[in-house]
Amino acid sequence: MAKLEESAAVVDTAVFDGPDASGHFGPYGGVFVGETLIAAVEELAQVYEKLSADESFWAEYDSELKHYVGRPSPLYFAERLTDSAGGAKIYLKREDLNHTGAHKVNNTIGQALLAKHMGKTRIIAETGAGQHGVASATVAAKLGLECHVYMGAEDIIRQAPNVYRMKLLGANVISVESGSRTLKDAMNEALRDWATNVDNTYYIIGTVAGPHPYPKIVRDFQCVIGREAREQSLEQIGKAS
């Protein structure tokens, strides 16, 4: 296990195909937001470029993953599921055992550190099922930042336990009544909030979506799952592919 902890969180971006300098992944990606938010995403891209080249930033992130999130998460051979399915060996990477119960926290803890480095005092997030909202509320509480989570009105009804957890963590959960009242509308509403409060607000996006540099940032912070899984595969199975 010692080896795993040491190798936890250095992102080697050379292994990736993208994004290019303008934030594109081939024909995808890029920056498609209103002009009001351009300065904010450009600032984020600059800050992230600087911090992601800084070993001490990754050491800080690494330490949070180990001591707060509880990583590495186990790689578990699901023996009976494998027998039942009758084909390939099935392994489960137990992200559910992270603090807050999902992989979402790998990303939110990293982005909350970015927010702290940028001097932002207010966190906003969108959430669908509520896991990203819970993970955002948790890291905001940890760092003493104000937190507002946008959630579709339909999702609030469907995912009441997560709404309760977010509120317990001190977050303000805002019901989004527009459009289809689900995740994409929550994201639109978060973008509107960001455009209005852009000076003091950091928007934690929970998935590889949104304008550059978000897809890259989320990708980099979630890489820890694959890196650990590879190490653990080598250790448990003797091969990684």
Partner 1 sequence: MHKLVEQGADIIELGIPFSDPSSDGPVIQRSVERALAKGTTLNQVLELVAQFRETDADTGIVLMGYLNPIEAMGYKIFAQAASSSGVDGVLTVDLPPMEAAELNSVMRANQVDTIFLVAPTTREERVASITEHCSGYLYYVSLKGVTGAALIDFDSVTANINKLRGMTALPIVIGFGIKDAQSAAAMGKLADGVIIGSAVVEKIALLADQVEHDEQQLSDTIKVITEAREALDKLV
Taking the complex as a whole, how short is the minimal distance between the CB of residue 165 and partner 1, in angstroms?
A: 27
Q: How far apart are CA 159 and CA 3, in angstroms?
A: 39
Taking the complex as a whole, how short is the minimal distance between the CB of residue 44 and partner 1, in angstroms?
A: 13
Taking the complex as a whole, how short is the minimal distance between the CB of residue 56 and partner 1, in angstroms?
A: 29
Apex 30 CA angle, 24 and 31, nearest 5: 160
In this chain, which of 4, 33, 153, 208 binds partner 1, going by CB under 8 A? 33
Share in percent of the chain as helix, strand, coil (round to 5): 55, 15, 35
Residues 77-99: b if buried by 16+ CB within 10 A, e if exposed:
eeeeeeeeeeeeeebebebeebb
Please identify, using beta-carbon distances, which residue of 29 and 130 lies nearer to partner 1: 29
Under the binding rule (CB under 8 A), the answer on residue 32 touching partner 1 is yes
In this chain, which of 40, 105, 109, 218 binds partner 1, going by CB under 8 A? 40
Under the binding rule (CB under 8 A), the answer on residue 56 touching partner 1 is no
Q: Are the C-beta atoms of residues 219 and 207 closer than 8 Å to each other?
A: no
The tokens for 127 are 């959430």
In this chain, which of 10, 38, 78, 168 binds partner 1, going by CB under 8 A? 38
Taking the complex as a whole, how short is the minimal distance between the CB of residue 45 and partner 1, in angstroms?
A: 12
Under the binding rule (CB under 8 A), the answer on residue 26 touching partner 1 is no
**Any idea what DSSP says for residue 144?**
T
In this chain, which of 6, 55, 83, 199 binds partner 1, going by CB under 8 A? 199
In degrees and rounded to multiples of 5, residue 16 shows phi and psi of -95, 150
**Can you give the binding site for partner 1, defined by CB under 8 A?**
22, 30-40, 42, 178-180, 184-185, 187-188, 191-192, 195-199
